[in-house]
Structure 1
Amino acid sequence: MMLLAGRRCYNVLNPLHSMIYFAPEAQAEFTALGLSRGAMSYFAGRAAAMGRIGPGAVVGTFYNYSPELVARHLPALWEIAAPEAVLAARLRAVAAAQQRTLGAELLASAELAEAAELALRAAGACTAPGRPLYAAHADQPVPEEPGAALWWAATLLREHRGDGHLAALLDAELDGLEALISHTATGKGFLPEAARATRGWSEQEWAAGEERLRGRGLLDAAGELTEAGEQLRQQIEDRTDRLAAAPYRALGEAGVARLTELAGKLTAASVANGAFPGGVFAAGVGRAKAKD
């Protein structure tokens, strides 16, 4: 039961972090540093906590991006904007985006402060070994403002779960593209066109990935998951839940339920105020941006 409760909590909390990837405020901050819109800004914002890393580390920790796309921007982007400048810009963007999507009243509310405290307590139970992206972000100072602190805690919980998810994908013998295709086929994440475009894969590479999955009996001729494919994706999610369970166990049943309730209200307000664009996610999908 706690594994399922932890997943539910993550699903409503994660959008409070992942809105930053779609926020015009973030694009404004990053372009002001000289970074280009889109992939360069995304790589900079998410990778800056790891310092002046090269393309190999990003391919390894982000997993489902085309190595060619990554190499196009790294390490060159650090000559434009230092990691420290990117991290500061990202926090400014968070504050501005939260003002737009949550509003001053919610940001000053006791409920948001309580959600931040619970999320920080959960994040404090995460562990660093084997989780490089989480560990890099955990090394950053905790923001003082409750809204920023909630975003920061949601970031840690996202990257902690994500690092474990990559271990599950490796165990399932899915490479980055195959993981992306099979997750898209579940209908619970990005639309295929958005996934291919944002991750930098060509139509030919995507088609080749589909053929590899068909060869394993995981995808049918129409591009839908077979029964074996559905079972594998479920096994991956179950293993990810187990690897991500520690922070929710530490919070306890009542704490997880309360954080789920609070985060659900905050996410609903954020989505209603335009935190995410249309035409990107599958219809009816909650805004928990997928790692795959």
Structure 2
Amino acid sequence: MTTAALEPRAGRRCHNVLNTLHATSYFAPELGQELSAVGITHPRAVNFAVRAAALGPVGAGAVTAAFYNYKHELVARHVPAIWAIASPKDVLAARARAVDAALRRLLGADAVTSPEMAQAARLALRATEACSRSARPLYSAHADLPVPEEPHLAYFHAATLLREHRGDGHLAVLVSAGLDGLEAVVTHTATGKGMTPKWVCATRGWTQEDWDAAAGRLRDRGLLDDAGGLTPEGVALREEIENETDRLDRAPYEHLGAAGVARLTELGTGFARAAAGAGAFPADLIGKR
């Protein structure tokens, strides 16, 4: 283990590029095709199935709690009914096939089999050695899954572990900040770095009325202005949230060390940019409107 000092936001930057690669799977047509083949066809059901499958055949309450920013009524519409259609084991196998096909399409065969991909997988997996299971249900469940042999799938697996590790910690920070699931999304969207309201409502089950009510609560707290932007207090709170999330997520990147984090960030940036350039994400996904 190395104790080399990291730049203050080095772990966050590394996570962001790893998470970008992970997130390609949710928009890949291959995912819908593979889940349809095992009987799960509704887009929201697909999303709940692939992300929750590592937890086992859990109910709606567990999924709503672990996912945090989805409307419970939407979750309950599909969970636990999805497990009567396909077992978590079948869903995980379908996801692996979809990720394999999607990464080959988005990155190309040469990148998938490249020495750089193998190195990225080794570095990312090394970082996961320092992840903590405590109070991190989605990370811990995925950590029980076997590491795939093929480097691009091992890289995706490690990116998923690091994504869920940071995400679980982030939820604890949001709870401490007094932001419910939708309020957290509204404030993130207001930074210009989160999903647009259109995509939040379409994928999370919230209505415009729900959104407006959450925005009203945030205005009452002095966090949001009348135009829907963050007030200085809102900016400060979002920065505090991200900094505290960084603190809870430092261990994997400290374990990897400054040089390893820099190299993993460099490699991950290349893969993420290639995927985005190949059309991995909708053009209107990110922004304030």
Question: Could you tell me the TM-score, scaled by structure 1's length?
Answer: 0.95
Deviation (angstroms), 1:13: 1.5
1:286: which partner in 2?
none
* 1:133 counterpart = 2:138: yes
Letter in 1 for 2:109: A
1:223: which partner in 2?
228
2:188: which partner in 1?
183
1:28-74 CA-partner distances (Å, limit 9, x unpaired): 00111111231100000000000010011111110000011001001
Q: Secondary structure at the match of 1:65?
A: coil
CA contact (8 A) 2:31 2:98 kept: yes
User: What does 1:88-107 align with in structure 2 at a 5 Å threshold?
Assistant: 88-107=93-112
Q: Distance in 2 between matches of 1:246 and 1:70?
A: 32
CA contact (8 A) 1:2 1:248 kept: no
CA contact (8 A) 1:168 1:236 kept: yes
Deviation (angstroms), 1:257: 0.5
CA contact (8 A) 2:196 2:287 kept: yes
* 1:278 counterpart = 2:273: no
Deviation (angstroms), 1:277: 1.8
Q: Distance in 2 between matches of 1:107 and 1:35?
A: 28
1:45: which partner in 2?
50
Letter in 2 for 1:8: R
Q: Distance in 1 between matches of 2:60 and 2:251?
A: 30
2:3: which partner in 1?
none
Q: Secondary structure at the match of 2:131?
A: coil
1:26: which partner in 2?
31
Q: Distance in 1 between matches of 2:36 and 2:249?
A: 34
Letter in 1 for 2:177: A
Q: Secondary structure at the match of 2:257?
A: helix
2:209: which partner in 1?
204
1:264: which partner in 2?
269
Q: Distance in 1 between matches of 2:248 and 2:81?
A: 34
Question: Could you tell me the TM-score, scaled by structure 2's length?
Answer: 0.96
Q: Distance in 1 between matches of 2:16 and 2:256?
A: 16
1:287: which partner in 2?
none
Q: Secondary structure at the match of 2:9?
A: helix
Instruction: Give the counterpart of 2:179 among 174, 178, 193.
Output: 174
Structure 2 gaps, min length 5: 1-5
Q: Distance in 1 between matches of 2:283 and 2:37?
A: 26
Instruction: Percent identity, please.
Output: 58
Instruction: Give the counterpart of 2:17 among 12, 20, 31.
Output: 12
CA contact (8 A) 1:102 1:269 kept: yes
Q: Distance in 2 between matches of 1:9 and 1:75?
A: 34
Runs of 4+ in 1 over 2 A off after TM superposition: none
Letter in 2 for 1:4: R
> How many residue pairs are counted as aligned between the two chains?
283
Deviation (angstroms), 1:123: 1.1
> After the TM superposition, which of the residue ranges 268-277 and 232-241 deviates more from structure 2?
268-277
Q: Distance in 1 between matches of 2:255 and 2:8?
A: 12
Structure 1 gaps, min length 5: 284-292
Q: Distance in 2 between matches of 1:245 and 1:30?
A: 35
Q: Distance in 2 between matches of 1:219 and 1:7?
A: 25
Deviation (angstroms), 1:272: 1.2
